[in-house]
Every structure is written in C-alpha cells, then in structure tokens.
C-alpha cells in the first residue's frame, strides 16, 4: 500500500435558524466523477496548498457563498479505495453560511438541496459522509465547537 498523503478534502456547508440546522447536498452531474450522487463539497488539494485552504477554495468555486464560520471537524472521512489500493483519509471541514444564502453551482453539479438531519436517509450518500454530517449536527446542537477548531 502507498503511504497516506493528503490529496482531497470534504466540506460540509450548513445554515441554521431557530428551528433547524440544514446541510447542503449537491447532485453531481452525470459527466463528472461521482455522477448522479448527492454529496457535500469536495475537491483536490493543490501543490503547496494547505488542506484548509483547499477547502475554502473548493467551497468558493462550487457555491460562491461566503462563510460566516469555518472550522475543522475533529474527524477524518476514511475509506479504502480498492482501485488504487489506497486507504483514503480525508480531512473534513464545516462552513456555516447565512440562513438566507443560496449557492450558485458551478459546472460540477446539476442541483442542490438543503436538508435537515432527519432527511438524511432519503439521500443515498456514503456512510462516512452521513456519519460526519451527524457528528457536525451533534457538535452544533450541543454548542460544542471548540475554538481550537476555528479557522480565521
């Protein structure tokens, strides 16, 4: 197996009001990698780019929204890529946007939805992504976002 090198990032955009926390899911265009799948924002880390910088860049490129709060989720999206014979460990970031914000999607996505946590089962997403969305929801709901995770 190849050594683990950070290659990609995941970004979980959300917004909240007094009633709910809603997560952004985007439907990948059929002509793109992961075509036809509902996903969070993701992308590759460029050479000489830090993971958090890649997360912010990909978020901007794919949604054109502005973050109100940007933080590193204290976990990794981990899975085995059998085609490459690699264990993938992907840093996860969360971005809160204004409750009135709506994304302007780039050419990677055909549509989007804001969903609440109880709607997750209606969207076939990868198990690790579902786990991370639930973790983010828990941390927000319990007001447990630690200042050390915040990215200025």
Band of residue 57 on the pLDDT scale cut at 50, 70, 90: very high
Read off the pLDDT of residues 68-98 as tens digits, 9 standing for 90 and up.
Answer: 999 999 999 998 989 989 898 999 999 999 9
List CB contacts of 93: < 8 A, sequence separation 6 or more.
Answer: 9, 10, 11, 12, 51, 52, 55, 70, 71, 72, 73, 151
- Domain coordinates of the chain in residue numbers? 8-149
What radius of gyration do the chain's Cα atoms show? 15
98-123 pLDDT per residue, tens: 999 999 999 999 999 999 999 999 98
Q: Label the pairing between strands 86-96 and 8-16.
A: parallel
Average pLDDT estimate for 35-59:
95
- The pLDDT, as a whole number, for residue 3 is 55
Contacts of 5 by beta carbon, 8 Å cutoff, 6+ apart: none
pTM of the predicted model as reported, rounded to 2 decimal places: 0.94
Assigned CATH for 8-149:
3.90.79.10
pLDDT digits (tens, 9 = 90+) for 11-27: 999 999 888 999 999 99
């Amino acid at each position: 197996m190849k050594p683990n090198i950070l290659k990609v990032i995941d970004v979980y955009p959300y917004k909240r009001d007094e009633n709910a926390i809603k997560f952004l899911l985007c439907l990948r265009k059929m002509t793109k990698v992961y075509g036809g799948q509902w996903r969070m924002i993701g992308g590759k880390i460029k050479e000489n780019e830090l993971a958090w910088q890649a997360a912010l860049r990909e978020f901007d490129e794919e949604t054109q929204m502005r973050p109100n709060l940007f933080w590193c989720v204290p976990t990794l999206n981990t899975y085995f890529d059998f085609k490459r014979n690699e264990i993938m460990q992907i840093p996860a970031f969360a971005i809160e946007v204004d409750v009135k914000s709506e994304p302007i999607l780039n050419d990677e996505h055909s549509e989007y939805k804001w969903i609440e946590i109880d709607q997750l089962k209606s969207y076939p997403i990868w198990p690790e992504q579902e786990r991370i969305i639930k973790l983010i929801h828990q941390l927000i709901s319990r007001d447990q976002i630690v200042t050390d995770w915040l990215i200025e």
